[in-house]
Structure 1
């Protein structure tokens, strides 16, 4: 470690650009089971903010104008957003919840380093719930 290096406390927030704020807000509300905690409006943007139980905030931002290109993990930038869970049983409960609210998902996928449950938002942004082994 480098001496006198400033310290981080973790990820405070992550903001995703969406093509339709109303559609995306409804989707994430179905996923998380609670409404946004706040919103922000500014010149050429509208944002809804979800306060996640972990303390991280997830913002959904619609810019004006915006492109109609869909998300691709193959384009430089973000590959996916991973939400951590505490147990494999919790991960299965998330899979059951996504099924119940009609969100298509991968089912539990095991790897040597943990188990993932992958799905996509309305813009195709890759998301996953993850339990590390």
Structure 2
């Protein structure tokens, strides 16, 4: 079966305990656009919020499930330990340093340990994030910043950068990335933790910041216990529904337990876990977020796919109101 290479990151989905504060941080502080306010289709009692570029182009979405009673995250292995966000230049990182100080955001200094200028920071729940400069980047194109963002376009976040996986048995994840998903090893850089192996870099498709997975090995800590401020899963881009159906057949035929084809309305999906237990999703580039809302008012109302619309009254009763109107 001939499969096209995966195109890079599609979205990253994380956990928050506070949707209102989450909305404020990612739109007002980070300047991303809320392109969809909907619900977790597997548990409609919780919000699912999508922050992205101007229209939620594939590869730009950082999403959150609201779980109000989510406990503390105990950081460890077999988890997604860092989500990076692309900015256009090294100069942009200087803007963000000042902005983080102004808003009281916990952050590190600018670093070049990945070969690119980066700036690690945490949100109000300890979500592990990093800005990465695209100044010398070649590869997958970035998204387009929203013109109504409080952050100037010259410094704005333009999509997802590399995602870091931290595992205890790297050879198992490597095998999935290379032999199953078609990634290629690009290089490595020293671990930030003394005495631990180098972090390996894998890329797919056109490569570049939007198509890299960084694989970190840790033998000195236990398994992560997820909660608020942790990442639930990472999704990778597939061109079309037809291509995704080929991936469903392929993943099933090689014996990997998986979800099968899943209709999410805004895109179509396939879920499976790699051997260290990290949840991977393959998701189609379309249809996108404008099938049920116009571009001008994306994210302002509660959007439900057609198959959940008959339950709207019940769903709305179970959600705490979240005002996301722009005017």
Is the aligned partner of 1:61 residue 2:213? no
Query: 2:182 and 2:274 mapped to 1: Cα distance?
Result: 15
> Whose Rg is larger?
2
- For 1:67-107, what per-residue CA distance to the aligned partner results, in whole angstroms no more than 9, with x for missing partners? 1x2675xx231011011212101111111221233222111
Which stretch has the larger CA shift, 49-58 or 123-132?
Answer: 49-58
Is the aligned partner of 1:4 residue 2:152? yes
2:246 corresponds, among 87, 90, 93, to: 93
- For 1:17-58, what per-residue CA distance to the aligned partner results, in whole angstroms no more than 9, with x for missing partners? 011111211122122224322223433243221112253210
Q: Which runs of 5+ in 1 are unaligned?
A: none
Query: 1:9 and 1:85 mapped to 2: Cα distance?
Result: 20
Closer/same/farther in 2, CA of residues 71 and 100 from structure 1, 3 Å limit: farther
Name 2:203's counterpart in structure 1.
51
Name 2:171's counterpart in structure 1.
22
Name 2:188's counterpart in structure 1.
39
Runs of 4 or more above 6 Å deviation = none
Q: Which runs of 5+ in 2 are unaligned?
A: 1-148, 288-327
Compute the displacement of 1:123 (Å).
1.8
Q: So what's the TM-score if we normalise by structure 1? A: 0.82
Closer/same/farther in 2, CA of residues 89 and 46 from structure 1, 3 Å limit: same
Preserved contact between residue 71 and residue 124 of structure 1 (Cα < 8 Å): no
Query: 1:121 and 1:17 mapped to 2: Cα distance?
Result: 12
Which stretch has the larger CA shift, 119-128 or 26-35?
Answer: 26-35
Name 2:43's counterpart in structure 1.
none
